[in-house]
Amino acid sequence: MERTPNAGPLMAALAADADADADEGGGEPALTVIARHASLFYAEAMPMAASLFAEPALLSRHREGVREIGAGPHVVLDALEGRLRRELAAGRLRADADPRAAAALLLGACFQRAFFLHFSGADVVQPVEEFAPALARTLWAAIG
């Protein structure tokens, strides 16, 4: 899954300069980009992930393989948490904001959208061009 076409843009968005001002790529605009790429990545990876979960032995081998190379689903969560921690340190988040919880909320919403997309179909799922900014705006309003 780490080799899917949208994995690279997602990791690049997570690694982008989080020390920038909100006007320069931090804050809500950065969360919008991350939400967009995460939504596309999870939508792309969902069928492959489903096949892994359908076969326990395959899932076990895959899990061992990604652990050996230091990859896995936690990498995205850790990277977003780190980015949000830098926002917190820069004073751009509320002092009581929880970067790990905020990262989980954003990525969990993106993962759920991917599940709905595959289960229910594109005609009942909000387009990513609307979903990503709405999600980022809502999360930033809560933590910013």
126/45 Cα distance (integer angstroms): 18
* Residue 37: exposure state from Cβ atoms within 10 A (0-12, 13-18, ≥19): buried
Q: What is the pLDDT of residues 106-118, one digit of tens each?
A: 999 999 999 999 9
Q: What is the pLDDT of residues 73-122, one digit of tens each?
A: 888 999 999 999 999 999 999 999 999 999 999 999 999 999 999 999 99
What is the pLDDT, as a whole number, of residue 6?
A: 54
Whether the pTM exceeds 0.95: the reply is: no
Q: What is the pLDDT of residues 9-29, one digit of tens each?
A: 776 777 776 555 444 557 999
3-state SS string over 58-100? Answer: HHHHHHHHHHHCCCCCHHHHHHHHHHHHHHHHCCCCCCCCCHH
What is the enclosing helix (H) or strand (E) of 129?
helix 128-143
